[in-house]
A = this chain, B = another copy of it.
Amino acid sequence: MKIAAEQIASVLGGEVVGDATIQVSTLAKIEEGQEGSISFLSNPKYVHHIYTTKASVVIVNKTFQPEYPVSTTMIKVDDAYKAFSKLLEYYNQVKLMKSGIEQPSVISEGAVYGEELYLGSFCYIGKNTKIGNNVKIYPNTFVGDNVIIGDNTILFAGARIYSETVIGNNCTVHAGVIIGSDGFGFAPNADGTYNKVPQIGNVIIEDNVEIGAGTTIDRATLGSTIIRKGVKLDNQIQVAHNVDIGENTVIASQSGVAGSTKIGKNCMIGGQVGIVGHLVIGDNVKIQAQSGVTKSLESNSAVQGSPALSHADFLRSYSHFRNLSKIAEDLEKVKKNVI
């Protein structure tokens, strides 16, 4: 797929400076550009690369004035970063624009699907499952019985969607994601053994949610585990039964949320965080990486540490922790004079 600089300029509404007929086929960082690639220059820190880059085409800001001769072709636009992002998105869409039903694959009795479905080989669609329009399901993916999947949603290779799960529109579910596995519920017996508490709820994923590779989301004991509109989950996150994660909350990789905890909107949760069960976390809460949250948190709070303290308190205490030897020594000196 080769495309000329003048065609790109016309898509982006930009102006070509240099050879307008030069063709590109790949995207690259400006410092890694090769013949046939297009790049961009936005951050002033990287300006020097424009004079040496091997990229055939570089998108630059309209305001950019080179101090030295530039041999590459430039496309001048209002905002080079945004223009390049637009190009990336377009490039990605083309790459992912698969369709058709590959064989062998299984679509069970009663399952229905919309237009432009891509269903890869070795995919299994359970009974009475409903799949919307323009859904892309990569090979080796399992979708159980009575699942609902909205329009424009992508399931990458080997995702596992247990029965009764509901997934909204415009979601991206990466490889190895597991949605709807049993919650971890066991009732102890007098002899030390446990009885399993049946887990008959489901998982609801609302629209515009992205779920990273290897993340697991357990079904509710009763009712639903809910991931609300616009939530972004990174890789290898664990979401336990009956958790409810609010709109546009973002969680970094390897964090875990225990059962029945409710997290508010627009929270930012770092990597490797643990949140115990049955808490209520407000809106706009910030939790630093590796924190352990053991108490409910009010909206707009920021915490760190295990167990978590307010962010400011943690930093203060930790700065003294670093000097704890000095504190202990000083105290010994004081004691010698006093006690």
Chain A interface (Cβ within 8 Å of chain B)? Answer: 27-29, 32, 85, 88-89, 91-92, 95, 102, 104, 106, 120-122, 124, 138-142, 144, 156-158, 160, 162-163, 172, 174-176, 178, 181-182, 184, 186-187, 192-194, 196-200, 208, 210, 212-214, 216, 218, 222-223, 230, 232, 234-236, 238, 240, 247-248, 250, 252-254, 256, 258, 265-266, 271-272, 274, 276, 289-290, 292, 306-307, 309, 313, 316-318, 320-325, 327-328, 330-331, 333-335, 337-339
Contacts and interface: CB of A to CB of B under 8 A. Distances in A.
Number of copies of this chain in the oligomer? 3
Given A91-B200, A238-B253, A192 B338 contact: no
Contacts of A254: 238, 254, 256, 274
A222 B104 contact: no
A216 B218 contact: no
Given A142-B157, A160-B175, A223-B28, A309 B334 contact: no
| Overall SS of chain A's interface | loop
A144 to B, nearest CB: 7
Contacts of A316: 324-325
